[in-house]
């Protein structure tokens, strides 16, 4: 299993990192580069053994853009993350999970691997019912699944319980390259 978090870096990132560290769980973060500033705790993400991928610059629906526009959106995001962190970006997640052949070609041309998900927590819609986030994931667990989460307060609230539930079902949480 792989935990992934989209749409950061956000204000809840330190809390997510505290939980992941306490649970000794690695994760992948797909960031909108427009939200990444040198002052954000990106160093801790890398020091704690997590991976940072691009989620584009502005979180636009790529299928509505030309190949050139998609390429620039991914390229600018990748370059900004690499410039700030000093680490090469290897992974990319298209916003909204929407992509087309141009998206795949742009990712290939930029040497980033697209990463989708098998289990959507629907955490972005469950601010008032965070327990459903856990249920949405646990009811769909399967070997090698990539789990879609977001850097949101409701996700922070249930993350320890979610990790424990996954472990209790006998699954190991790892990074994509280790899965």
pLDDT per position as a tens digit, 23-39: 999 999 999 999 998 77
115-141 tens-digit pLDDT: 999 999 999 999 999 999 999 999 999
pLDDT of residue 135: 97
Percent of the chain residues topping a pLDDT of 90:
95
Any idea what DSSP says for residue 19?
A: H
Per-chain mean pLDDT for the chain: 95
Domain boundaries, the chain: 2-178
Six token digits for residue 148:
């879609």
Band of residue 178 on the pLDDT scale cut at 50, 70, 90: low
Round to the nearest angstrom and report the end-to-end CA distance of the chain: 7
CA distances from 15 to 74, 118, 142 (A): 28, 25, 27
pLDDT of residue 153: 97
Q: Which fold would CATH assign to domain 2-178? A: TIM Barrel (3.20.20)
């Amino acid at each position: 299993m792989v935990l992934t978090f989209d749409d950061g870096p956000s204000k809840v990132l330190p809390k997510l990192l505290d939980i992941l560290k306490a649970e000794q769980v690695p994760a992948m973060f797909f960031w909108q580069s427009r939200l990444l500033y040198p002052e954000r705790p990106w160093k801790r993400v890398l020091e704690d053994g997590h991976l940072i991928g691009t989620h584009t610059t502005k979180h636009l629906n790529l299928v509505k853009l030309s190949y050139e526009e998609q390429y620039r959106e991914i390229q600018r995001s990748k370059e900004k993350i690499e410039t700030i962190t000093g680490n090469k970006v290897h992974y990319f997640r298209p916003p909204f999970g929407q992509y087309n052949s141009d998206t795949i070609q742009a990712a290939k041309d930029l040497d980033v691997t697209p990463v989708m998900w098998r289990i959507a927590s629907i955490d972005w819609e469950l601010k008032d019912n965070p327990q459903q986030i856990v249920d949405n994931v646990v009811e769909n667990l399967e070997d090698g699944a990539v789990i879609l989460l977001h850097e949101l307060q409701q996700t922070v609230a249930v993350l320890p319980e979610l990790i424990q539930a996954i472990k209790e079902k006998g699954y190991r949480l790892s990074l994509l390259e280790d899965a």
